[in-house]
């Protein structure tokens, strides 16, 4: 029996010729990630068992991004804990405020993850790096602690779902619309502890930023990971950003999949996920009249340069609706600088939006964009659970940067076509 991409990567990192779905393995890790919420817990777990050292100071990444710049004393203490640990252990890839970004945009940008890697992170959206053909998955802080000490992690080898993508997306249809369509189709538990493997000639029509978005939200379908084959675009991205050697794994022709789904990208429309689950999707033509109070464009899902370019294209020369709060979060300092140099930030500010330093803040209801009772937001983030961005009586609608930007202008959930674009 053949193996999937994910199974091949896990087999290689476990030192085995082959693995099968359901098999328990111990795999070597190429990178262990933590942030200011999860890393302090892992550090305290290490202290409990009196473990002083780390397995490799070059293979640990610590990124303060969730409650930074520090929103209160508690968050400042968490960041200090992580900072002190990084200094004590001489962690190479510790990123302070001025050089950091939202972790899942930052690590690929810094070249820390490449094809064939096995990565764990104490954050559920670590699955983002599957866009590069890596196996990456979220774990708990205890597993992160063990990973930092041993450089290894236990896994149950996942079975897989195959998504055959064909065709070319229409104008204003992005990777966010594709993954929302898929989650709407299979549900938030449709890929539970499975690998979502994206294949087909349609992938060539998706940018790397589209792919990062799709892999990022694999967890919203319950998946263990999402992964893309390594094509010329992925290779070009890695060569531009990384000096690490990469390994390309391809699924065997006789690899076994639990289900195969065929998706013609040319048939998809801009898609919105209604409260309070990412599976509650409607295409933009079925949304109806829904007034909103806030728009958030950013996050580890949609804060990359392509996302900001799309949003600026929609907002250029226009003004946000009266009373509307529009907050733009470039995902990294480098993306922020590019957006500044390209004039995108000028477009946003002239339209009436505010632009923030990179942070996860509003996505998890942390800071810099909290919703009050009864308020509604359109967000390019990844989750819209009850109370996700603030009060339990608020509502979050997930959408692409194009839809979010158009909604900011009209004051209600809208597609760019409603602006004549």
What are the pLDDT digits (tens) for 327-350? 999 999 999 999 999 999 999 999
* pLDDT tens-digit readout, 375-408: 999 999 999 999 999 999 999 999 999 999 999 9
User: 308 and 208: one domain?
Assistant: no
Domain count, the chain: 2
Q: What is the pLDDT of residue 100?
A: 83
Statement: residue 34 has pLDDT above 80: yes
Statement: residue 127 has pLDDT above 90: yes
Sign of CA pseudo-dihedral 18, 20, 23, 28: positive
- Asked which of 263, 285, 303 is the last residue of a domain, the reply is 263
Range in 1-5, 115-119, 125-129 the model is least confident about: 1-5
User: 231 and 288: one domain?
Assistant: no
Residue in 305, 280, 286, 319 with CA at minimum distance from that of residue 414: 286
Residue in 400, 397, 404 with CA at minimum distance from that of residue 320: 404
User: 297 and 234: one domain?
Assistant: no
User: 199 and 305: one domain?
Assistant: no
User: 59 and 168: one domain?
Assistant: yes
Task: Detail the residues annotated as belonging to a binding site for [4Fe-4S] cluster.
Answer: 300, 360, 363
pLDDT band for position 51 (cuts 50, 70, 90): confident
Torsion angle, alpha carbons of 146, 150, 152, 153, to 10: -20
Q: What is the pLDDT of residue 50?
A: 75
Place of tokens 């369509």: 181
Place of tokens 């942390």: 366
Statement: residue 308 has pLDDT above 90: yes
Q: What is the pLDDT of residue 52?
A: 76
Q: Is 38 left (phi over 0), alpha (psi -120 to 50) or beta?
A: alpha
Average pLDDT of span 217-228:
97
- Asked which of 243, 263, 283 is the last residue of a domain, the reply is 263
Task: Detail the residues annotated as belonging to a binding site.
Answer: 300, 360, 363
User: 193 and 317: one domain?
Assistant: no
Structural domain range at position 339: 271-419
pLDDT band for position 47 (cuts 50, 70, 90): confident
User: 169 and 47: one domain?
Assistant: yes
Q: How far apart are CA 361 and CA 365, in angstroms?
A: 6
- Contact partners, residue 48, CB within 8 Å, separation at least 6: none
* pLDDT tens-digit readout, 137-164: 999 999 999 999 999 999 999 999 999 9
User: 294 and 214: one domain?
Assistant: no
User: 96 and 210: one domain?
Assistant: yes
User: 72 and 14: one domain?
Assistant: yes
Q: What is the pLDDT of residue 49?
A: 79
Q: What is the pLDDT of residue 166?
A: 98
pLDDT band for position 205 (cuts 50, 70, 90): very high
- Asked which of 215, 232, 263 is the last residue of a domain, the reply is 263
**In this structure, what CATH number is given to the domain that contains residue 135?**
3.30.499.10
Q: What is the pLDDT of residue 4?
A: 98
Average pLDDT of span 119-125:
97
User: 137 and 244: one domain?
Assistant: yes
* pLDDT tens-digit readout, 162-184: 999 999 999 999 999 999 999 99
Which tokens belong to 256?
């076994």
Average pLDDT of span 214-220:
97
User: 218 and 84: one domain?
Assistant: yes
Q: What is the pLDDT of residue 1?
A: 79
The answer to whether residues 296 and 265 touch, using CB atoms and an 8 Å cutoff, is: no
């Amino acid at each position: 029996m053949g193996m999937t991409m994910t199974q091949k990567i896990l087999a290689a990192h476990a030192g085995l010729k082959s693995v099968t779905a359901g098999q328990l393995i111990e795999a070597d890790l190429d990178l262990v990630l933590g942030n200011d919420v999860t890393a302090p817990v892992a550090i305290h777990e290490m202290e409990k068992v009196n473990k002083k050292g780390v397995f490799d100071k070059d293979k640990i990444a610590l990124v303060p991004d969730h409650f930074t710049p520090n929103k209160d004393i508690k968050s400042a203490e968490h960041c200090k804990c992580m900072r002190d640990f990084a200094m004590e252990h001489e962690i190479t890839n510790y990123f302070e405020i001025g050089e950091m970004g939202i972790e899942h945009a930052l690590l690929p940008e810094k070249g820390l993850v490449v094809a064939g890697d096995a990565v764990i992170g104490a954050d559920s959206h670590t699955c983002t790096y599957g866009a590069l053909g890596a196996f990456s998955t979220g774990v708990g802080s205890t597993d992160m602690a063990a990973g930092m000490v041993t450089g290894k992690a236990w896994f149950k080898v996942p079975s897989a779902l195959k998504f055959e993508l064909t065709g070319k997306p229409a104008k204003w249809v992005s990777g966010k619309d594709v993954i929302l369509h898929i989650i709407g189709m299979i549900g938030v538990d449709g890929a539970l502890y499975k690998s979502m493997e994206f294949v087909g000639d349609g992938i060539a029509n998706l940018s790397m930023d589209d792919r990062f978005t799709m892999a990022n939200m694999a967890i919203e379908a319950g998946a263990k990971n999402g992964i893309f084959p390594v094509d010329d675009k992925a290779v070009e991205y890695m060569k531009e950003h990384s000096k690490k050697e990469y390994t390309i794994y391809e699924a065997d022709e006789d690899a076994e999949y639990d289900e195969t789904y065929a998706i013609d990208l040319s048939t998809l429309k801009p898609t919105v996920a209604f409260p309070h689950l990412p599976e509650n999707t409607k295409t933009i033509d079925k949304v109806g009249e829904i007034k909103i109070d806030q728009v958030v464009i950013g996050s580890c899902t949609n804060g990359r340069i392509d996302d900001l370019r799309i949003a600026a294209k929609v907002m250029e020369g226009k003004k946000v609706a009266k009373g509307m709060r529009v907050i733009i979060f470039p995902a990294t300092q480098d993306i922020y600088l590019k957006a500044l140099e390209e004039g995108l930030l000028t477009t946003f500010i002239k339209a009436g939006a505010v632009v923030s330093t990179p942070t996860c803040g509003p996505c998890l209801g942390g800071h810099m964009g909290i919703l009050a009772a009864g308020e509604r937001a359109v967000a390019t983030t990844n989750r819209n659970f009850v109370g996700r961005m603030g009060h339990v009586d608020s509502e979050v609608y997930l959408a692409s940067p194009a839809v979010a930007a158009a909604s900011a202008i009209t004051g209600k959930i809208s597609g760019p076509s409603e602006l004549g674009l």
